[in-house]
Amino acid sequence: MSPPQTFEEFWPYYVSQHMNATCRRFHFVGTMLSALVLVASLCQPWLLLAVGVPGYALAWVGHFVFEKNRPASWFSLKFAAWSFRGDMRMFGRMLLGRMDEELERATP
């Protein structure tokens, strides 16, 4: 199988790496905390340095402890950008209660 060439080709792989519900919840909370740090940085600009810390920290715990895999963002810069985009899509789908549809498509 050749590596994905577009985000839409990458998305099913991204979903397949997030089948564990606890891992997805860690991503969700990390993304939410990172967004809060971003908002707080409007008052304290130095907080911009820490925006990604809660998101990545919790995502990595989710992957290593619960999903038992490595984050796709570790494989290449392109995958890192697509992983961020995938996280935003997954966050939105979870917020709207639509992530289960994606999981069903990714399950053989």
Asked if residue 104 lies in contact with residue 17, where contact means CB atoms within 8 angstroms, the answer is no
Instruction: State pLDDT tens for residues 25-42.
Output: 999 999 999 999 999 999
Task: Name the band, by pLDDT with cuts 50, 70 and 90, for residue 106.
Answer: confident
Asked if residue 67 lies in contact with residue 103, where contact means CB atoms within 8 angstroms, the answer is no
Does 88 have pLDDT greater than 90? yes
* The two three-digit tokens of residue 95, written as one number: 């917020």
**What does the pLDDT read at residue 26?**
98
The mean pLDDT value for 54-75 works out to: 90
Q: Residue 69 contacts by C-beta under 8 Å, 6 or more apart in sequence?
A: 17, 63
* The two three-digit tokens of residue 78, written as one number: 């392109």
**What does the pLDDT read at residue 86?**
95
User: How much is the pTM?
Assistant: 0.91
81: nearest Cα among 1, 3, 6, 30: 6
97: left (phi over 0), alpha (psi -120 to 50) or beta: left
Mean pLDDT taken over the chain: 92
